[in-house]
Amino acid sequence: MLEVARRSIAHGLEQGSPLRMDPRQFPEKLQARRACFVTLNRQGQLRGCIGHLEPVQTLIEDVAENAFAAAFRDPRFPPLRASETADLTIDISVLSEPEPIDFTGQQDLLRKIRPGVDGLILEGPLGHRGTFLPSVWEQLPDPAQFLAHLKLKAGLPADYWDDRIRVWRYTTESFEGTY
């Protein structure tokens, strides 16, 4: 998967488009429909992160597409330049199937989330939605702080609460390497 991510970024630098994959050329587990995120870091700082929360294609196609998108289409950053690849790291997070968390309020939710383990998807009324991968716990180890920042990412105030908020958890299997 890391080699495909590297090749897709290189293809993007050379051709301006993601690498097209034939899933049949890969092991069966990479042909499965799975969702992933590809995170790029440069000198320890986020350089791009794009992915899917639900499976939309085979895992190997998702890796190629998301690696390209993280490098060239993350709206928070300008497109990656070839000069930035020397110190680029790639982290591929393959997501488990999200499962809903049943809770009776914010304090109950905070007791039920598992720091360092759970990625969370938060959906508020009126379509506000955001996610944090489990790796975000490294920067936000406190559950209340993690949840407050997730609300901000979803476009809600950090102290916002509404009993119509829904939350799902997922875990990831991560693969990290250099460009």
The span from the CA of 123 to the CA of 131, in Å, is 9
Helix (H) or strand (E) holding 151: helix 143-153
- Round the CA-based radius of gyration of the chain to a whole number and report it: 17
Superfamily of domain 99-171: Hypothetical protein ph0010; domain 2 (3.30.1490.150)
The span from the CA of 94 to the CA of 119, in Å, is 11
Burial 55-89 (b: 16+ CB within 10 A, else e): eebbbbbbbbbbbbbbbbebeebeebeeebbeebe
Domain ranges of the chain: 2-95, 99-171
CATH, domain 2-95, list 3.30.700.20, 3.30.70.890, 3.20.20.450, 3.40.50.10790: 3.30.700.20
Which pair of structure tokens corresponds to residue 102?
A: 């049943």
Per the confidence metrics, is the pTM higher than 0.95?
A: no
- 45 has which bridge partners? 42
CA dihedral 82, 84, 85, 87 (to 10 degrees): 160
Which pair of structure tokens corresponds to residue 54?
A: 């639900």
The span from the CA of 122 to the CA of 129, in Å, is 6
Which pair of structure tokens corresponds to residue 177?
A: 């390497």
Going residue by residue through the chain, which has 179 residues, state the pLDDT in tens, using 9 for 90 and above: 999 999 999 999 999 998 999 999 999 999 999 999 999 999 989 999 999 999 999 999 999 999 999 999 999 999 999 999 999 999 999 999 999 999 999 999 999 999 999 999 999 988 899 999 999 999 999 999 999 999 999 999 999 999 999 999 999 999 999 99
Helices 2-15 and 59-72 meet at what angle, rounded to 10? 50
